[in-house]
Amino acid sequence: MRRTLTAILGLAAMGAVMLPVAAFAEDTVSAGQFFANNVWMMLCAGLVFIMHLGFATLESGMTRSKNTVNILFKNTFIISIGILTYALCGFNLMYPGEFNGFLGFAGAGLSDLASADNTAGYASGGYTYYTDFLFQAMFAATCATIVSGAVAERIKLSSFMIFAAVFVAFVYPIAGSWKWGGGFLDAMGFYDFAGSTLVHSVGGWAALVGAIALGPRLGKYTKGRMNPIPGSNMSLAAVGVFLLWLGWFGFNGGSVLSADPVLTSYTLVTTCIAAAAGAVAAMTASWTLASKPDLSMSLNGILAGLVGITAGADSVSLVGAVLIGLVAGVLVVFSVMFFDRIKVDDPVGAISVHLTCGVWGTLAVGIFSMNPEHSFLVQLAGVAVYGLFTVVCAGILFYGLKATIGLRVEEAEELEGLDLAEHGGHAYDFGGSTRGFEDELPLGARRVSPAAATLATE
């Protein structure tokens, strides 16, 4: 007897869980399609989940090592609080069912197993209720993570945690309901396939407001010049970008909302082509401008292409995908330079990647879409509405925190690094191998070999 049998007996005992196989006769999809669709969507949720590791490593790698623990702590918090608040209220704010188009709420919490509609009738056989929640929850947390990169290395931990919790619980879901929840922007014909605007520019606007509210890091802009503060771990940053690219297979591929073979595979092709074009364009642009091949810019070029293609990955032509990526790759380089010129300090380039290229991608749908119903002006209107709403909300949050509990750490703490100041420890220690017990050991043990002696003095 195998686990199977036990599991099936257990399943039978639960009764309500049993899948109504008969139901498929009335549906447009077969049981096999429903199973395949749901497998795809669950795995896409997993891929979007791994984007949180991508952001955590990218941000840690592109900032100084004295703030690494702080960044990792924030990213651990965001995904955790994001899932919990999205279950509590976010999901039902974003998908309230029939509503006034501006604000709706389907009630607190998720449906339990007995009452949830997990049949193939729930979403035309694309996935179950629980898969729907999981996939959308991973998206929601992504939006808040974008902000964390731009405010890194100087924001007060508790203030950021409050911002992130409110942003993911209320701001993102309400904004999302206007399009994906079937609200007024959806009715207007605004199109955003997987979130160039709904996720990336919303995150990017909030990042911009946060970076302005905080001001630049100490020493970043001095005596009229910009001092580059290079990342402390470029391998980790590269790991982050490759994981984000992989995650985008789920971010865009899952936004088809089924495993439809044509649309999913076409979406993955436009996504990968735009990412590749973004990288090559950013390499070329930054190499030309700075006479050096720049790894950070190349990595951001990949992300620029990915953010750019996200709004129209299912509906632009292949040539459109290449052009969207190329333009995004050039844009991100100039955008980084622009924000440095106006002294908005964004340690990882999050504003340029997510806001600039998010806006570009959304407008690009109006240019390159094969669907004649997509309109440039409506896209522009959508971009403006999301910008206005997010700037107001993020402004209230960031400046409200600044006026009350404070937004920025003390100068001394920033200098020392947030890891030691807020967390009491460092992220890295590649030296001290004998810490804490030198006085406990007989002297002879410490002299055992030249190598040990060397280590002991480190």
- Binding marks (x or -) toward a second copy, 95..124, rule CB under 8 A? x-xx----------xx-xx----x----xx
Tokens of 116: 């949830």
Under the binding rule (CB under 8 A), the answer on residue 1 touching a second copy is yes
- Told to check if 416 binds a second copy by CB under 8 A, we report yes
Give the x-and-dash track for 293-332 against a second copy (CB under 8 A).
Answer: xxx--xx--x-----------xx-xx---x----------
Q: Which is nearer to a second copy, 81 or 391 (CB)?
A: 81
Gap between the Cα atoms of 296 and 283, Å rounded: 9
Number of Cβ within 10 Å of residue 444's Cβ equals 7
Indicate the residue type of 216: P
Residues touching a second copy, count (CB under 8 A)? 175
At residue 318, φ and ψ (nearest 5 deg) are -65, -40
Pick one of 142, 159, 201, 264: the residue that binds a second copy (CB under 8 A). Answer: 264
CB proximity list for 331: less than 8 A, separation 6 or greater:
304, 308, 352, 356, 357, 360
Q: Which of 248, 228, 89 is nearest to 165 (CA)?
A: 89
Q: Residue 159, interface with a second copy (CB under 8 A)?
A: no
Our CB check for a second copy shows the closer of 66 and 200 to be: 66
Find the binder of a second copy among 163, 172, 180, 386 (CB under 8 A): 180
Q: Which of residues 343-372 bind a second copy (CB under 8 A)?
A: 370-371
Smallest distance from a second copy to CB 197, Å: 14
Site for a second copy contains 375 (CB under 8 A): no
How far apart (Å, rounded) are the C-alpha atoms in residues 276 and 279? 5
**Toward a second copy, which CB reaches closer, 389 or 416?**
416
Which one of 143-151, 203-211, 354-362, 433-441 is the stretch in contact with a second copy (CB under 8 A)? 433-441
CB of 288 to a second copy, least distance (A): 14
- Residue 222, judged by CB atoms within 10 A of its CB (0-12, 13-18, 19+), counts as exposed
- Non-local (6+) Cβ contacts of 350 within 8 A are 146, 147, 149, 150, 203, 204, 207
**Closest distance of CB 203 from a second copy, Å:** 19
- Give the residue with the Cβ less far from a second copy, 182 or 395: 182
- Chain residues 9-38 in contact with a second copy, contact rule CB under 8 A: 10-11, 13-14, 17, 19, 29-38
Map 172-198 to HEC letters: HHHHHHCCCCCCHHHHHCCCCCCCHHH
Which CB atom, from 197 or from 209, has the smaller least distance to a second copy? 197
- Encoded one letter per residue, x for contact with a second copy by CB under 8 A and - for no contact, window 43-72 reads x-xxx-xx-xx--xx--xx--xxx-xx--x
Residue numbers 183-242 binding a second copy by CB under 8 A: 186, 191, 218-220, 222-223, 227-236, 238-239, 241-242
Q: Which of 90, 149, 173, 181 binds a second copy (CB under 8 A)?
A: 181
Instruction: Report the candidate in 175, 187, 182 with the shortest Cα–Cα distance to residue 387.
Output: 175
User: CA end-to-end span of the chain, whole Å?
Assistant: 58
Residue 221, H or E segment? strand 221-222
